[in-house]
Structure 1
Amino acid sequence: MIKGINVDYQGRCQHWHSVVDIVANLCAKCKCFYACYECHDVMNLHKFEPMSINNEERAVMCGVCNYQMTVWSYQHSNYQCPNCHHAFNQRCSLHNNTYFC
């Protein structure tokens, strides 16, 4: 389940809602998937904590097919879901330091 503010059926939220905004990220602290760190921080008493890039936990989810992948798999996915091949927002890479460490 993807949490967030005004989340649609594919994980888009009030902050990010284009056709390619379908990636959800796992918070290392609460272990929940959120549409974005902004939604997470509004909805929780703690800030979003990034996942380690070396962690083998499935920390990224495609909102279209709910496929979960490791950070490494996501970062090497060529901006598309390895399962359903739906395009991911390439600009999400600008937030890598927020979601991954």
Structure 2
Amino acid sequence: MSEIPVHGVDSETRCRHYQTDRDVVAFKFACCRQYSPCYRCHEAVTDHEAIPWPRERFDEPSVLCGVCETELTVPEYLEADYRCPACDVPFNPGCRAHADRYFETDIS
């Protein structure tokens, strides 16, 4: 299990909402500075509204690879082409559809 606390997940940050081999990232939310594997898990384990990671903090790690526990900044995550730059495990490109829930971005 991860040394970095991630709420509602298996040993590689998969949650009950998204469970493919590629669903191995977790995102840190600005509201509580805690990692959750998805916005639905954040809703299930907190008592507050999720606030995406702000653009002015993109130089701080806020994305976690659940396989090797490497923490990435948002630009590192976006530039990695849906693969962990440390261990090369593939990430789910479908997370792009929810990117605005995890960090301030113009991605659509």
**Which band: TM-score by shorter chain?**
over 0.9
User: Which ranges of structure 2 fall in alignment gaps of 5 or more residues?
Assistant: none
Aligned to 1:64: 67
Quick one: which of 83, 97, 100 aligns to 2:100? 97
TM-score by structure 2 length? 0.87
CA drift at 1:70: 0.4
Alpha carbons of structure 1 residues 19 and 92: separation in structure 2 relative to 1, 3 Å? same
2:42 counterpart letter in structure 1 = H
Is the 1:12–1:21 Cα contact (8 Å) retained in structure 2?
yes
Unaligned runs of 5+ in 1: none
Q: Percent same amino acid at aligned positions? A: 35
Partner of residue 46 from structure 1, selected from 33, 45, 48: 48
Query: Is 1:74 equivalent to 2:80 in the alignment?
Result: no
Q: Tell me how far apart the structure 2 counterparts of residues 8 and 77 of structure 1 sit (CA, whole Å).
A: 23
Residue 36 of structure 1 and its aligned partner are, at CA, apart by 0.8
Between the aligned partners of 2:103 and 2:36, the Cα distance in structure 1 is 14
CA deviations 1:22-77 (Å, max 9, x no partner) are: 01000101111111110111111112210023421100000000000100110110
Q: In the alignment, which residue of structure 2 is the partner of 1:14?
A: 16
Preserved CA contact (<8 Å) 1:24 1:33:
yes
Q: Is the CA contact 1:23–1:63 (under 8 Å) kept in the aligned structure 2?
A: yes
Matched length: 100
Q: Does the CA contact (< 8 Å) of 1:2 and 1:35 recur in 2? A: no
> Which amino acid letter does the alignment assign opposite residue 96 of structure 2?
S
